[in-house]
């Protein structure tokens, strides 16, 4: 957490505006400012997604536990100062009406750490493994890995990175409902008596038995559903009369309370799961974006001309390092630089 604080200060983030945004209190104009900050630097986008993901997970977890968050925060704050003396100045801020949202979240994070009795690193591990309470099972994938869940009815869920799933311990008895935050591919066992329902913040997806992909993390969209087999019903949450049916090969989208569907034209739509990538005369800029989404990293170009080079090839279950070596050799690039936050492609055009 202390490292996150330092990075955010270096990026000159507007703390008041961010905390207000995370609390859902910003206007359209303020949301635009957040969007401009995110687009300003690749690191900003990565950091924002990390904080937003943690915010969601923290809020879900705090519903299950009652803790003294003020005491937890004080303990955590003391340890941050001991480990990072240069951060002492964070303790003298006096939160106003907006800053309180951010500090409240940090207090909640501290309480989680105390509950499991381990360090910051274990907090991340905590969310990767199944968590059980009296009523729910919660599973969350890490930031660099995918996971597979087999539900009691035999249905399978493939979680993309940074994805959160919650379902009742009595799943399959009275209903087959799950809550999703992030992206997941579903292989649902058919059961005409108990429809399978995926709930998100803004939508619900209803099926009897089929294979499909649901993504709640696309910028500007509330939910996107791609159907590979069978038929899927996409509803606005609590608006059953407002729905569409999605057939194989089509994508359904809920965006700003509007439901639409269109045929999928992206060959690599499910590559995050299959790790099978096909590029046909594709600009390296688009290749980098696809690889960044699949391998959960940032890929940027030092030279804009290189971004316009075109690539035709296929990658089958290869590591990102292996793929980058192929790209470097294909275009005779100077070098590929790996940083803690992403990859920088250095080279002069298409040689």
DSSP string, 304-336: HHHHT-EEEEEEES--HHHHHHHHHHHTT-SEE
Q: How far apart are CA 192 and CA 208, in angstroms?
A: 6
Residues 201 and 311 in one domain: no
Is residue 78 included in any domain, yes or no? yes
Residues 110 and 59 in one domain: yes
Task: Write phi, then psi, for 277 (nearest 5 degrees).
Answer: -120, 135
Those residues whose C-beta lies under 8 Å from the C-beta of residue 94, and which sit 6 or more positions away, are none
Q: How far apart are CA 231 and CA 235, in angstroms?
A: 13
Is residue 184 included in any domain, yes or no? yes
Rg (CA), the chain: 22
Q: Given 73, 98, 126, which residue is the final one in a domain?
A: 126
The CATH number that applies at residue 158 is 2.60.120.1440
Residues 112 and 139 in one domain: no
Residues spanned by the domain of 100? 2-126
The CATH number that applies at residue 330 is 3.55.50.30
Residues 11 and 109 in one domain: yes
Residues 114 and 236 in one domain: no
Residues 142 and 235 in one domain: yes
Is residue 351 included in any domain, yes or no? no
- Among 291, 346, 348, residue whose Cα is nearest residue 322: 291
pTM, rounded to two decimals: 0.61
Tens digit of pLDDT at every position of the chain (351 positions):
433 443 444 445 566 677 677 767 778 788 888 888 777 765 566 667 666 655 555 554 444 444 444 554 455 445 444 443 443 333 333 334 444 455 555 544 544 444 444 333 333 333 344 554 557 888 888 777 788 999 999 999 999 988 989 999 889 888 899 999 999 999 999 998 899 999 998 899 999 889 999 999 887 778 999 999 999 999 987 766 678 999 999 999 998 778 999 999 999 999 999 999 999 999 999 999 999 999 989 999 988 889 999 999 999 999 999 999 999 999 999 889 988 879 999 988 786
Q: Which residues of 286-308 are buried (b: 16+ CB within 10 A; e: fewer)?
A: ebbebbbbbbbbbbbbeeeebbe
Residues 293 and 276 in one domain: yes
Instruction: For residue 325, give both structure tokens.
Output: 């070596």
Residues 289 and 246 in one domain: no
- Among 198, 191, 195, residue whose Cα is nearest residue 157: 198
- Among 194, 196, 192, residue whose Cα is nearest residue 211: 196
Q: Given 109, 126, 143, which residue is the final one in a domain?
A: 126
Residues 257 and 283 in one domain: no
Residues 150 and 72 in one domain: no
Residues 69 and 22 in one domain: yes
Q: In angstroms, what CA-CA distances link 72 with 55, 291, 349?
A: 17, 39, 53
For the beta sheet containing 232-236, the strands, ordered from the edge strand earlier in sequence to the opposite edge, are 131-132, 136-140, 164-168, 176-181, 196-199, 203-207, 232-236, 239-246
Q: Given 126, 151, 175, which residue is the final one in a domain?
A: 126
**What is the tally of structural domains in the chain?**
3
Residues 215 and 286 in one domain: no
- Among 178, 180, 175, 212, residue whose Cα is nearest residue 195: 175
Q: How far apart are CA 266 and CA 270, in angstroms?
A: 9
Task: Write phi, then psi, for 185 (nearest 5 degrees).
Answer: -105, 130
DSSP reduced 3-state for 346: strand
């Amino acid at each position: 957490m202390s490292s996150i604080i330092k990075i955010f200060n270096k990026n000159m983030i507007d703390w008041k505006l961010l905390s207000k945004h995370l609390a859902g209190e910003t206007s359209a104009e303020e949301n635009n400012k957040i969007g401009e900050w995110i687009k300003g630097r690749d690191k900003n986008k990565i950091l924002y997604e990390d904080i937003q993901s943690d915010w969601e997970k923290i809020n879900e977890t705090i519903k299950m536990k009652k803790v003294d968050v003020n005491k937890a925060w004080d303990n955590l704050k003391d340890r941050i100062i001991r480990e990072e003396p240069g951060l002492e100045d964070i303790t003298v801020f006096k939160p106003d009406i907006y800053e309180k949202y951010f500090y409240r979240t940090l207090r909640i994070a501290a309480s989680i750490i105390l509950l499991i009795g381990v360090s910051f690193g274990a907090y991340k591990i905590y969310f990767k493994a199944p968590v059980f309470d009296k009523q729910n099972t919660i599973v969350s994938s890490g930031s660099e890995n995918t996971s597979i869940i087999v539900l009691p009815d035999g249905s399978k869920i493939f979680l993309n990175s940074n994805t959160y799933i919650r379902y009742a311990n009595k799943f399959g008895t009275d209903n087959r409902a799950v809550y999703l935050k992030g992206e997941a591919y579903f292989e649902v066992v058919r059961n005409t008596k108990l429809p399978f329902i995926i709930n998100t913040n803004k939508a619900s997806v209803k099926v009897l038995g089929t294979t499909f992909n649901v993504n709640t993390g696309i910028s500007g969209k509330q939910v996107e559903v791609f159907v590979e087999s069978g038929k899927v019903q996409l509803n606005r949450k609590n608006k059953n009369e407002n729905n569409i049916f999605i057939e194989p090969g089509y994508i359904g989208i809920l965006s700003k309370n509007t439901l639409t569907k269109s045929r999928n034209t992206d060959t690599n739509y499910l590559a995050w799961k299959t790790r099978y990538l096909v590029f046909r005369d594709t600009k390296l800029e688009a290749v980098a974006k696809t690889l960044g989404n699949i391998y959960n990293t940032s890929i940027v170009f030092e030279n804009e001309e290189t971004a316009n080079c075109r690539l035709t090839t296929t990658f089958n279950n290869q590591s990102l390092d292996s793929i980058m070596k192929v790209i470097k050799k294909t275009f005779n690039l100077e070098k590929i630089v790996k940083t803690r936050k992403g990859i920088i492609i250095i080279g002069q055009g298409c040689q």
